[in-house]
C-alpha cells in the first residue's frame, strides 16, 4: 500500500479500536500509520540522496571538462 493509504487505514483502525474497545485493532492501526510515515520518510530520503548524487555527477563532469580544457591548452 502507499504512504497515504497506510496512514488513512491506520487512523481508521485506531478509531474503530478506540470505539469498540479493541486494543489489538487500535495497536494494529498505530503500526499501520507508523508504516505509512516510514514510507514517506524513506521516499524523502531517497529523493534527497538522488539529488545529492546528481549534484556530485554534475560537479564531477564539470571538473573533468575543466581538466580536459587545461590539457588541450598545453
Q: What's residue 73's pLDDT?
A: 86
Residue from 15, 23, 44 nearest 7 by CA: 15
Q: CA Rg, the chain, in Å?
A: 24
Regions of the chain where pLDDT drops below 50: none
pTM (predicted TM-score): 0.71
Write the burial class of residue 72 (CB in 10 Å: 0-12 exposed, 13-18 middle, 19+ buried). Answer: exposed
Amino acid at each position: 500500500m502507499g504512504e497515504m493509504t497506510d496512514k488513512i487505514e491506520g487512523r481508521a483502525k485506531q478509531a474503530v479500536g478506540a470505539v469498540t474497545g479493541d486494543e489489538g485493532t487500535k495497536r494494529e492501526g498505530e503500526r499501520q500509520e507508523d508504516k505509512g510515515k516510514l514510507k514517506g520518510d524513506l521516499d524523502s530520503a531517497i529523493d534527497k540522496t538522488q539529488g545529492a548524487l546528481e549534484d556530485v555527477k554534475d560537479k564531477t563532469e564539470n571538473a573533468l571538462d575543466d581538466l580536459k580544457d587545461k590539457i588541450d591548452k598545453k
